[in-house]
Chains A and B, each alone.
Chain A
């Protein structure tokens, strides 16, 4: 178990290093002189050159990369060009905002999605099953910005049950902040719920048809013991992997929902940094996003291995 884990961690670090190099290179390829971007078109050439010297942007690319990389691994991403302040606090606050939103999404998605999938799987072929599958598929094809806008209009505007903006006022507590996130979370829940339910349903159907389930039933175990100890434990393996992957997406890929509900998450941070040609912010944001994607995928694999002994054996030497 230790060696595969170490191998996995090694490949993870290699991926992140590659991403960091690519992002840094992409930043260099984009047109625009950093000093000129910061000082504007009317600054004189001398002032621009002086600033570039101060920032080190007049150095050879490898020297710049090493300078950036050596600081980045210790968590120092330098100063943002547009915000004229250290990048790290912006990244940390955007991760917090994204994580809060992802947390609320998972709070609804996991129990409802898995619950619906189990019901559909246990009664496969019934009206309830068809209803769940059809609803899930229909909801997943509605883009989140469309359902987001509809939900905003119905629950935010007409019924006024929820605040329109996802960002809670200054100094709001946990409950107020979570309340503000319900409306932004719903379109994402609706979008993903069908996927989670279908994965669970397929797992349940497969597990119920498996020999070990038949054996358990023949052993005379109660239906609930059969369900929780034998069916679900096996059926949920692929679902867990799916949820882990989706968590990565929830933490970094929600530009439209974040913009619509005014949430300053990671997606928004990277988008605005790209728009402002703010390379240090862009590089830090993309690197953090990549770290989240790669690590959530790894956590998914790990959970799958923990739940499924066969995979552990497969990975063993």
Chain B
């Protein structure tokens, strides 16, 4: 089939409802090469065209089998879970890695193959994008043999939006979905009435909200007892603080897992993880810059990476001197050499950011907005205009985590070139976050700070939580009615072009106002032994081992 007829066929399949426009625009963009296959799939999925896409072979690569032999035990090293493993409350990467062996979502946002229908088979929105209806996959069973019904799905989401459960997803659903929003239509259909229109809602019930694992309606918060989910592996054993093991689920609704077992060990020390990997006692471990150095050039190990929207966000408090003047904020942003940071600090495993949460991997990002580059002369000019020609002194408060302390030193050095004298205040991570509420959190209260943000499949959470006037994570204390209005337009836009137009306006406004400096979007990596094939993972720590084979 030629590319042309391929495109015609895709266009001919446009849905009957108002989603037709979005789909046709997406197909046009794909034909012109603006939209990658992965993003076309995302749109197909958003419009509920999954059945069609599957029939066109668009979803085949995810189901492809690995070349090596099945069977065997995949041995995984993970960090120490910070609290009891419970899908409703977890926030740490190790727990997400454990849960992904047994738990599944309505949709999987696979970094390689885009949105994949899992426990939901298809979905569609009404004309307002305020009501979304999901058809569930029939014949799916929990590990204890009970069938998954719409009742379980409704209970799962009601639990996640209930403030008394300690749900880790409350921040994600704030302003999107509230208690009573998930409704039972029939045994295999669930509807969601949203607080406000959102064209990206399927991402909110996908693996992107890692707490949204579908659990039985009568789930009592005791996940560690039996790890009941619907996934390709089921519970074998669990030793708190030590590790867990899982075996192939013979009743799995999809392709059965290739490995017989998965064995997970928790480590308090990352050095110990890499040593165990080198000794051949582990097959998969998380990755950090320090560990990557330890395996560099060694053919026995592979570094696997996926592009992500993770970033370290520099906030400038727009309601406190010296950053009340947007020229001062822009001046500081102009001192940073982003290319140098990406190449040097992040070893090239990142893409340059443009001071907005719209990572280039989001199809809705407007690529025509000019990229901010280092310009010391312009920075000095702006400072002069703002009445501080000789610069100023300021304290940068941040957390001792990942590459952030080094990034802070780089910013300090860059800023010096324009006369800005930055003092560093680097705190332990938990001290920096404090209670994560305004008034008792160095993160949310500091004048200038750097905070790490993990990957999300759409920019919505970043846009809402960190920049909206009422945002729960608005560390910049950014208060712009214009921005808030643009955000509503962005949420309503159902067509890619309209989304991009709204995004372009937001990006331009944020460049002008500069409440945040986002210098890069970093990749997410794992280190694996060369003896294993088929290790897949998402940029928010899910670890998918069902297609792993040994070579």
Set B163, B245, B281, B434: member contacting A170, Cβ < 8 A: B245
Q: A259-B268, A276-B82 are in contact. Are A156 and B164 (CB under 8 A)?
A: no
Complex Cα distance A301/B200, Å?
71
B163 in contact with A42 (CB, 8 Å): yes
B265 in contact with A262 (CB, 8 Å): yes
B163 in contact with A47 (CB, 8 Å): yes
Complex Cα distance A280/B239, Å?
20
Q: A83-B84, A165-B281 are in contact. Are A44 and B268 (CB under 8 A)?
A: no
Shortest Cβ distance from B14 into chain A, in angstroms?
Answer: 40
The segment from A31-39, A105-113, A126-134, A283-291 found at the interface with B is: A31-39
A33 and chain B: residue at smallest CB distance: B435
Which size class do A's interface residues fall under? 35 or more
Q: A39-B166, A41-B435, A43-B170 are in contact. Are A156 and B268 (CB under 8 A)?
A: no
CB neighbours (8 Å) of B183 from chain A are: none
A168 and chain B: residue at smallest CB distance: B242
Q: A39-B164, A167-B242 are in contact. Are A272 and B281 (CB under 8 A)?
A: no
Q: Mark B253-297, 1 if CB is under 8 A from A, else 0.
A: 000000000000111110110011011010000000000000000
Q: Is the C-beta of B436 less than 8 angstroms from some C-beta in chain A?
A: yes
CB neighbours (8 Å) of B167 from chain A are: 40, 42
Q: Is the C-beta of A279 less than 8 angstroms from some C-beta in chain B?
A: no
B241 in contact with A264 (CB, 8 Å): yes
Q: Mark A213-254, 1 if CB is under 8 A from B, else 0.
A: 000000000000000000000000000000000000000000
A164 in contact with B83 (CB, 8 Å): no
CB neighbours (8 Å) of A90 from chain B are: 240-241
Complex Cα distance A80/B171, Å?
25
Q: Is the C-beta of B128 less than 8 angstroms from some C-beta in chain A?
A: no
Q: Mark B296-331, 1 if CB is under 8 A from A, else 0.
A: 000000000000000000000000000000000000
Q: Is the C-beta of A85 less than 8 angstroms from some C-beta in chain B?
A: yes
Shortest Cβ distance from B454 into chain A, in angstroms?
Answer: 16
Q: Is the C-beta of B430 less than 8 angstroms from some C-beta in chain A?
A: yes
Q: Is the C-beta of A152 less than 8 angstroms from some C-beta in chain B?
A: yes
Set B82, B164, B267: member contacting A50, Cβ < 8 A: B164
Q: A42-B472, A50-B164 are in contact. Are A259 and B241 (CB under 8 A)?
A: no
Shortest Cβ distance from A77 into chain B, in angstroms?
Answer: 15
Chief secondary structure at chain B's binding surface: loop
Q: A82-B84, A85-B84 are in contact. Are A43 and B163 (CB under 8 A)?
A: yes
Shortest Cβ distance from A73 into chain B, in angstroms?
Answer: 25
Tell me the chain B residues, 63-120 only, with Cβ under 8 Å from chain A. 80, 82-84, 86, 89, 91
Shortest Cβ distance from B453 into chain A, in angstroms?
Answer: 15
Kindly name the residue among A153, A262, A268 whose own CB sees the greatest number of chain B CB atoms within 10 A.
A262
Q: Mark B162-180, 1 if CB is under 8 A from A, else 0.
A: 0111111011001000000
Complex Cα distance A100/B390, Å?
64
Q: A164-B281, A262-B269 are in contact. Are A32 and B435 (CB under 8 A)?
A: yes
B280 and chain A: residue at smallest CB distance: A160
Q: Is the C-beta of B17 less than 8 angstroms from some C-beta in chain A?
A: no
Tell me the chain A residues, 1-48 only, with Cβ under 8 Å from chain B. 31-33, 36, 38-44, 46-47
Q: Is the C-beta of B226 less than 8 angstroms from some C-beta in chain A?
A: no
Chief secondary structure at chain A's binding surface: loop
CB neighbours (8 Å) of A152 from chain B are: 275
B278 and chain A: residue at smallest CB distance: A157
CB neighbours (8 Å) of B84 from chain A are: 82-85
B272 in contact with A40 (CB, 8 Å): no
Which size class do B's interface residues fall under? 35 or more
A164 in contact with B166 (CB, 8 Å): no
Kindly name the residue among B170, B275, B437, B440 whose own CB sees the greatest number of chain A CB atoms within 10 A.
B275
Set A40, A153, A160, A258: member contacting B268, Cβ < 8 A: A258
Complex Cα distance A98/B257, Å?
38
Kindly name the residue among B86, B272, B430 whose own CB sees the greatest number of chain A CB atoms within 10 A.
B272
CB neighbours (8 Å) of B430 from chain A are: 275, 277
Q: Is the C-beta of B237 less than 8 angstroms from some C-beta in chain A?
A: yes
Q: Is the C-beta of A293 less than 8 angstroms from some C-beta in chain B?
A: no
Q: Is the C-beta of B62 less than 8 angstroms from some C-beta in chain A?
A: no
B268 and chain A: residue at smallest CB distance: A259
Complex Cα distance A46/B163, Å?
9
Q: Is the C-beta of B221 less than 8 angstroms from some C-beta in chain A?
A: yes
B83 in contact with A40 (CB, 8 Å): no
Shortest Cβ distance from A171 into chain B, in angstroms?
Answer: 9
Complex Cα distance A44/B269, Å?
35
A51 and chain B: residue at smallest CB distance: B164
A50 and chain B: residue at smallest CB distance: B164
CB neighbours (8 Å) of A261 from chain B are: 272
Complex Cα distance A13/B88, Å?
43
Complex Cα distance A268/B221, Å?
26
Kindly name the residue among A43, A165, A275, A276 whose own CB sees the greatest number of chain B CB atoms within 10 A.
A165
Besides the contacts A41-B472, A260-B271, A276-B82, what 12 more A-B pairs have beta carbons closer than 8 Å?
A31-B440, A40-B436, A41-B435, A164-B272, A164-B276, A164-B281, A167-B242, A167-B265, A258-B268, A262-B265, A262-B272, A268-B268
Q: Closest 6 CB pairs between A and B?
A: A41-B436, A47-B164, A42-B170, A82-B83, A259-B268, A39-B166
What are some 5 contacts across the A-B interface (CB < 8 A)? Answer: A82-B84, A90-B240, A149-B271, A167-B265, A258-B268
Give residues in B with beta carbon < 8 Å to A. Answer: 80, 82-84, 86, 89, 91, 163-168, 170-171, 174, 221, 224, 237, 239-243, 245, 265-269, 271-272, 275-276, 278-279, 281, 430, 434-437, 440, 472
